[in-house]
Chain A
Amino acid sequence: KQEVTQIPAALSVPEGENLVLNCSFTDSAIYNLQWFRQDPGKGLTSLLLIQSSQREQTSGRLNASLDKSSGRSTLYIAASQPGDSATYLCAVSSGYALNFGKGTSLLVTP
C-alpha cells in the first residue's frame, strides 16, 4: 500500500526566504505526483503536476522535482511571501486514487 510522508510537518520562515518542502513515498510505481495548496477552511488548489515520465515542473516561484527511483519529491518555493502561508499537500497516484501525505503547514512572517 502506498504511503506518503511529508517533512517537515510545520515550517515558519521570514518573508523572502527560499524554502524546500519534502515528500517521500513507498511505492515507486506511480502515474504522477501532484502538489496542492490548501488555505484554512478552503478546498484544494493544484499547484504542480509531475507525470511519471517527467523529472520536474515549474510554475512562477514554484519548482517541483520528482525522483521515482528514490521515492522522493521536493517543492521549492523561491522568495517566499506572506501570501504563501497555507498547508501544502503532496499526493501520489499509483492508479485508481490519489494517496495524500499529511501536509506541511507553512507560515511566512512579514
Chain B
Amino acid sequence: DTAVSQTPKYLVTQMGNDKSIKCEQNLGHDTMYWYKQDSKKFLKIMFSYNNKELIINETVPNRFSPKSPDKAHLNLHINSLELGDSAVYFCASSQEATGYYGYTFGSGTRLTVV
C-alpha cells in the first residue's frame, strides 16, 4: 500500500525518443508535484497540480508535458529526449496546495538518455 508510487523505477532510452513516467497517490491528497533531481543531487520543482489544475509551471522546456487525469494521478510525458534530461524524477503529493501538512514523495524514476 505504497502512498506515492511511480513507474517505471528505471528508464533507459535513446536521444530523440518520447517517454512517459506515471505517478499515483492513494493518500487522498489534492495536490501533486513533479521534481527533478539533477546530477548534483539538487531537487527542483517542475510542475504542481491542484485538483487536476496546473498551478506551477517552472522554467521547464515545453518538451515536458504533465497530465493529470484525476487528482490521484499525475503523469509526465517527455518528447524528443535529450542527454541533459538524464536525472531522477520524483513525484510528490500534499494534502492541499500550501503543503502545510507536509509532503510525501515517491521513490523516484531514474531516467538515463543515451
Contact = CB atoms under 8 A, between A and B. Distances in A.
Interface residues of B, number: 26
> Helix, strand, loop or mixed for chain A's interface?
strand
Interface stretch (B13-21, B79-87, B104-112): B104-112
Contacts of B102: 32, 34, 46, 49
A43 B100 contact: no
Name the interface size band of chain A.
20 to 34
Contacts of A91: 43, 103
A46 B104 contact: yes
Nearest to B42: A102
A22 interface: no
A30 B75 CA distance: 28
B100 A44 contact: no
Nearest to B110: A41
Interface of A: 31-32, 34, 36, 38, 41-44, 46, 49, 51-52, 87, 89, 91, 93, 95-100, 102-103
Given A32-B99, A98-B99, A100-B43, 6 more contacts: A43-B106, A44-B90, A46-B104, A95-B97, A97-B48, A102-B40
